[in-house]
Amino acid sequence: FIEAKLKETGTTRIVPEPEVKVETTVAVAPGDTKSEFLRVLQLSGLDGESMTDDQRDALINIAENSGLDPGDAEDMVDEYLEEIDRKQIADITKAKAKPPTPVGRNGTSAVKGSPKVKVVEEPVPGATPKRAVLSPQQERKRYPNYSNSLGGQMFLIPSGEFIMGNPFPDAPPNETPHFRVTVTRFYMSRFPITNAHYEAFDPLHKSKRASATGDRHPVVYISSLDAMKFCQWLSIRERKKYRLPTEAEWEYAAKGTDGRRYPWGNFDKRGDLANFADKNTSFAWSDRQIDDGYAESAPVGSFPRGASPFGIEDMSGNIWEWCSNFFEQYKPTPKTDPHGPPSGTKRVYRGGSWKSRFASLRTTTRSANLPNFSCNDLGFRIVCECES
């Protein structure tokens, strides 16, 4: 089933690096659904200590979408983890039983006739390796834009500093105070995740599509938990680190470093920049003087003139977009790569939607709701961490 789907969508199976390949005693027969799921487990590189509940749920979801019974998939995950743990214990026992090689004063082997091997210092436990400091031009050269296995374009957002929050006198309370933030490079999807992208992960979601929407419309009726499971699935599929953007990453990608009010600049009241509550809608706040061409959501990429300084499109209007942060009031202190509070009752989403008045399309506009909330104008886009 999985091989057929890959062939049908024109995608390529990710081949694991030799050092992370997991040897198992279970035979793998090509074309067998259980064997294919075992391969997915092997590609994950996870063990009993590192696998989170969300990762486990994502794996079970993959198995269920492939036609496996969820109970059988649970058993396979348990058996896989037990086998990995047994292998790790055996390796540790074997290593302890092996006598250490004497080391001379000059850091080389003291055993006569043995090859001279320099002693390599182990990294300090808990230490965080520092990323190389590169200019934006060097970062763009080292980390080129790419397309993921679903055909989604991923654009590099280079490292930089910007003023987060709303510095204008008419700023709403939840957008103040403003403060300086440093953001480390990352990739962001050029467009929000579409119906076609999401349904590669969850085919059953097609029955929940918003009315009269196609493959290239942004996926909606998605909770933040659904979005995070999609990121886990794509991470395992490609052996990369996909996730929801933080609020800081989202706002930086939307406004850049010049403090603009909207992704495209500071001008407003135009129908060629974003999809918002215009004459095609029937809200009390709809702008009857402007026509953006859509009564509800638009296919992604319909408003290229509204792109951000980094070329990211549809950041304002069309659909709100989940971020990873739990909501909290801003604090006026400089920050580097802030992730927000570790817990909370509501998760943030940004950007406004086709239901929003034009003024709400600001790069600083914030809203929040329960993590399991979903509706017909809320979706998400993804980021991918750059390898160090």
Structure tokens at 328: 């909290």
- DSSP for residue 153: E
Is residue 235 over pLDDT 50? yes
9-58 residue pLDDT tens:
555 555 444 443 334 443 434 457 888 888 888 877 777 666 666 677 77
Question: Are the C-beta atoms of residues 224 and 332 closer than 8 Å to each other?
Answer: no
> Which helix (H) or strand (E) is 183 found in, with range?
strand 179-183
Query: pTM (2 decimals)?
Result: 0.68
Question: What pLDDT is attached to residue 103?
Answer: 44
Which residues belong to CATH 3.90.1580.10 in the chain?
136-385
Question: Are the C-beta atoms of residues 166 and 261 closer than 8 Å to each other?
Answer: no
Is residue 113 over pLDDT 60? no
In CATH terms, the fold of domain 136-385 is: paralog of FGE (formylglycine-generating enzyme) (3.90.1580)
In 200-307, the DSSP E strands lie at 242-243
Question: What pLDDT is attached to residue 339?
Answer: 95
Q: Where are the alpha helices (DSSP H) in 107-223?
A: 136-142, 195-201
* Banded model confidence at residue 119, pLDDT cuts 50, 70, 90: very low
Rounded to whole angstroms, how far apart are CA atoms 56 and 53? 5
* Banded model confidence at residue 65, pLDDT cuts 50, 70, 90: confident
Structure tokens at 200: 């590669």
CA of residue 258 relative to chain centroid, distance: 25
Residue 349: φ, ψ to 5°? -135, 155
Mean pLDDT of the chain: 84
147 - beta bridge partners?
A: 153
* Banded model confidence at residue 199, pLDDT cuts 50, 70, 90: very high
Task: Give every CB contact of residue 211 below 8 A, 6+ residues apart in sequence.
Answer: 296
**DSSP3 helix / strand / coil % (the chain, rounded to 5):** 30, 15, 55
Is residue 245 over pLDDT 50? yes
The SS3 assignment for 43 reads helix
* Banded model confidence at residue 355, pLDDT cuts 50, 70, 90: very high
Task: Give every CB contact of residue 273 below 8 A, 6+ residues apart in sequence.
Answer: 262, 264, 303, 305, 306, 316, 317
Calculate what percentage of the chain has a pLDDT beyond 90.
Answer: 63
The SS3 assignment for 361 reads helix
Question: What pLDDT is attached to residue 110?
Answer: 42
Question: What pLDDT is attached to residue 309?
Answer: 97
Rounded to whole angstroms, how far apart are CA atoms 116 and 221? 62
One-letter amino acid of 263 = P
Cis peptide preceding 177, ω within 30 of 0: yes
* Banded model confidence at residue 94, pLDDT cuts 50, 70, 90: low
